[in-house]
Amino acid sequence: MKNSVIFLILLLIPSFLLAQTGNIQGKVTYQNQPLPGVNIIIEGTLKGSVSDDDGFYRIENIPEGTYSFKFSMIGFKSAIIKIKIISGKTVLLNCNLETEIINLNEIQIIDIRAQRQEDTRTSLISIKPENAKLLPGAVTDVFRSLGALPGVLSPNDFTSQLVIRGSGPDQNLIVMDDIEVFNPYRLYSVISMFNPEAVSDINLITGGFPVKYGDRLSAVLDVTNRQGDFTKSFKGVIDASIISANVVLEGKNPFNIPGSWLINSRRTYYDLIIGSFVKNAGLVDENVTFPNFFDVQAKIALGPFENHTFFLNGIISRDGVELISAKERKTPDSLGVFNKTKNDLAGFAWHFAPNKKMLNKFVVSWYRNQGDARIDASLLDPSVNRDDFEEFSADTISQYLLGMYASGDFVFEKYSLENKLFLQWGDKNEFEAGIGVDFIHTKVNAELDIDKQVLDNLELYLNINNSIEDLSVSRYYNKYKVWADNKFKISDKLYIQPGIRYDYYELIEKAALSPRLSLSYLLNPSTTLRGSFGLYYQSPGYEKIIDQARAFNLSKNNTTALKPERAVHFIASIEHWLNEQWMLKSEMYYKKFENLLVQKIVKGISYYTEPVPGKDIFSREGWTRPVPFLSDSVTQVPINNSNGYSSGFEIMMEKKKIKSGDRFAGWISYSFAVAERKENGSTYPFRFDQRHTLNIVANYRISEDYDIGLRFKYGSGFPFTHPLNVQPRVILKDSDGDFIPDSPEIATRKTGSSGKETVIYDLNYGKDSQKFNDRIPAYHRLDLRFTAFADYWGLDWQFYLDIINVYNRSNVINYDYYVKDDLSIGKETVNMFPILPTLGFSVRF
């Protein structure tokens, strides 16, 4: 409420009180070609800008006077130009830079990507690719680097998926070079598709994103792959560690064709190193392949040709695993897994800039994500303690083993056309509009063959048997979008950006209209206030929900009644520069979720039994005959029957490297957040509800030859569900010979040398209203990275030691529960990464 009043007062401030200022704009070039990513700083002030893909830059609200403008970029000689700014005028200043030969060990990472005052976007975080590469514990992965930012969580150490402000990974929009990507994860979410050596911009909007982004409820990650170096015919970098290798090659186009090319490839070798170790230990059979991944990405820039520039993008990616457990395993159960996943992308973009105030982008793309998987397992009954069955053969304890076979495949394919227009008009306003269509094909097949006792248990106690069915669905559908917004410069201090978006989702035959509004106000030269409000919609689709661990049947009969999921965002922020290097930022947010997709509940049959007084509860006679009663049962049918909210407060203080002599950079952030869901009349915490999160990131340049980085994270525990008690297992028997199980009875198995029949007990987790009834212990981890810089054979080298979990904290990911012999509940802790050192190097040539 207070923030609303402040913004209202600011709207009423008369413009004649505002300072007299002017603007400057221009183009940065090298050999008459546009030069993107150049830093432009007004020396002695906090103001600055970065040239865009076409070399253009603009700095506004500069008080009248004479200033020195510094143009700098790694690999080029800096240029300093003194010029006078006149009130009410826009000065044109172009700059042509020259190349400079430098050594890597002389380079300081300079992070000056401060958000411009006129940028009305709230919750925007821009990080430099160099920072993503050097962040300790991030394994040179963009997604894992984002986990150190406020409002961003990762479910556990083993995945790079992003949980942002109380929303799941499926509610985040991932965009690469103006192309939406369904599955940005590789190697089963261990790493992401983005190579920090090959990207130029990483922009994360954790809420309140503008209307050019849609069909997601929570956040946007917009990544731009960089162009190749058009100053040299050939150059490259090789980065290798004990787990992966990365090669990037680039250069200017041949035959005097304007533009550049860049190609990069990555390959993990868990299968070569870890696989050999495990095979030699006899834990798996010889004819297996451990998880492996490789990809090839390329970007070609052609132009500019008289205001026209063309871009070609391509990605080929493969990852998979083939695993069969060997007879030498300690436990008698066995597991066979086969999985292959492919991600392919092709894109063409045409950028047309007839003048400095207009840019039109036309993008056509094709994207396909497909996979094939099989699981064939004989697993120990989940009710028993696995440690009690070490060194037993499968033949001697077959009554404790349960069989399961599952196979499936999927294809998500998309053809897209989109046109975007950017226009500056009146010298004070910026208009953006776009129109596009996606032609989508999704196909999902799943076949299940599960042990009857497992199915009975799922049906009678977990009430999900109706969702454990074979599935085969293939759908073709289109999505249409039209959007427009305009940033109005009300005064030198106040900017307002209203926007509207229209989406039509053919899968559900529904349309959605999304109004949004954002604004920024310069309270003083060091302080900017921002606020945003908006409606956000998300359509159902297998490309979004496949990671939810829920089975949905999206056949036509089940989707026509669905509505798009809906969220409302309210965000207010304040950003204050303590000086030219230290920045303090704080945000408050509230997200309301409606019409969330869940599985339909129908009435099913469960069975109740109770102990017979004076009888042995380990024998079938110690329990009454099971009596049926009506209970809820989950199906594969999707319905809009859940809602919720997330709210929170975030604060971050950041130290940036502004000058070349700066040695220290980093940030500290704290987040308080609450996220809840309501489903089927029950309210419970969101599964990734983390109330308190602390991040500390620091980098210190010890000398020209050595660098040290630190990353510490603390997070309060996620919710989890622990069992309430134990109960006898009830199974259905065929009592009349018609091959239809219809008679409930207490399940038993033979135990001991006497072969006595003993009742099988299962864990009872209670009803839906009782889930997430506890929290795992708090998570905390310290990572360090030591980097040495050297110059050998005329090449720039980096050697690094990255240590994950320095003090070997046992962070809990989950608990495995089992029934003890005395019917009490036993617990085994499953932990995340132990201390994990990694050695690596990179060389530039």
Residue 569 clears pLDDT 50, i.e. is over it:
yes
Q: What are phi and psi of 557, to 5 degrees?
A: -65, -25
- Mind listing the pLDDT tens digit for each residue in 734-758? 777 777 777 888 988 887 767 788 9
Chain centre to alpha carbon of residue 193: 11
Q: Cβ-count burial of 608 within 10 angstroms (0-12 exposed, 13-18 middle, 19+ buried)?
A: middle
Residue 122 clears pLDDT 90, i.e. is over it:
no
Confidence grade of residue 296 (pLDDT, cut at 50, 70, 90): very high
3-state secondary structure 60-125: EEEECEEEEEEEECCCECCEEEEEEECCCCEEECCEECCECCCCHHHCCCCCCCCCCCCCCCCCEE
* Token digits of residue 830: 């499953």
Contact 585, 571 (CB under 8 A): no
Which range, of 290-294, 322-326, 787-791, averages the lowest pLDDT?
Answer: 322-326
The pLDDT of residue 570 is: 98
Give the span between the Cα atoms of 523 and 606, in whole angstroms: 63
Q: Pick the more confident residue, 418 or 341.
A: 418
Q: Which residue has the tokens 């700066």?
A: 662
- The DSSP secondary-structure symbol of 387 reads G
- Mind listing the pLDDT tens digit for each residue in 212-253? 999 999 999 999 999 998 888 999 999 988 778 899 999 999
Confidence grade of residue 13 (pLDDT, cut at 50, 70, 90): very low
Q: Which residues contact 287 (CB under 8 A, 6 or more apart)?
A: 324
Rg (CA), the chain: 30
CATH topology of domain 1-102: Immunoglobulin-like (2.60.40)
3-state secondary structure 331-353: CCCEEEEEEEEEEEEEEEEEEEE
The pLDDT of residue 399 is: 64
Average pLDDT rounded to a whole number, residues 669-677: 97
Average pLDDT rounded to a whole number, residues 106-111: 33
The pLDDT of residue 14 is: 35
Using the Cα atoms of residue 546, residue 550, residue 553 and residue 557 in order, give the sign of their dihedral. negative
CB count within 10 Å of CB 342 equals 15
In sequence order, the β-bridge partners of residue 606 are 629
Contact 27, 94 (CB under 8 A): yes
Q: Pick the more confident residue, 175 or 6.
A: 175
537, 540, 541, 545 alpha-carbon torsion, rounded to 10°: 90
Confidence grade of residue 544 (pLDDT, cut at 50, 70, 90): confident
Q: What are phi and psi of 142, to 5 degrees?
A: -60, -45
Confidence grade of residue 207 (pLDDT, cut at 50, 70, 90): very high
Q: Cβ-count burial of 309 within 10 angstroms (0-12 exposed, 13-18 middle, 19+ buried)?
A: buried
The pLDDT of residue 316 is: 95
Total residues belonging to the chain: 845
Domain boundaries, the chain: 1-102, 222-459+477-729+761-844
Average pLDDT rounded to a whole number, residues 362-368: 97
Confidence grade of residue 3 (pLDDT, cut at 50, 70, 90): very low
Give the span between the Cα atoms of 418 and 529, in whole angstroms: 33
Q: Cβ-count burial of 236 within 10 angstroms (0-12 exposed, 13-18 middle, 19+ buried)?
A: middle
The pLDDT of residue 274 is: 57
The pLDDT of residue 428 is: 74
The pLDDT of residue 478 is: 96
Q: Pick the more confident residue, 139 or 313.
A: 313
CB count within 10 Å of CB 164 equals 25
Give the span between the Cα atoms of 431 and 636, in whole angstroms: 44
Residue 283 clears pLDDT 60, i.e. is over it:
no
Using the Cα atoms of residue 147, residue 152, residue 155 and residue 160 in order, give the sign of their dihedral. negative
Q: Give the chain's mean pLDDT.
A: 84
The pLDDT of residue 8 is: 35
Residue 374 clears pLDDT 70, i.e. is over it:
yes
The pLDDT of residue 731 is: 84
The pLDDT of residue 47 is: 79
Contact 194, 297 (CB under 8 A): no
CATH topology of domain 222-459+477-729+761-844: Maltoporin; Chain A (2.40.170)
The pLDDT of residue 10 is: 36
* Token digits of residue 90: 């826009």
Average pLDDT rounded to a whole number, residues 693-719: 94
- Mind listing the pLDDT tens digit for each residue in 27-46? 898 766 778 878 888 887 77
Give the span between the Cα atoms of 164 and 536, in whole angstroms: 15
Using the Cα atoms of residue 553, residue 556, residue 557 and residue 560 in order, give the sign of their dihedral. positive
- Mind listing the pLDDT tens digit for each residue in 645-659? 999 999 999 998 776
Average pLDDT rounded to a whole number, residues 547-557: 81
Report DSSP letters for 656-716, one per residue: ---STT--EEEEEEEEEEEEEEEETTEEEE-TT--SEEEEEEEEEE-SSSEEEEEEEEEEP
Residue 467 clears pLDDT 60, i.e. is over it:
no
First to last CA, the chain: 57
Confidence grade of residue 626 (pLDDT, cut at 50, 70, 90): very high
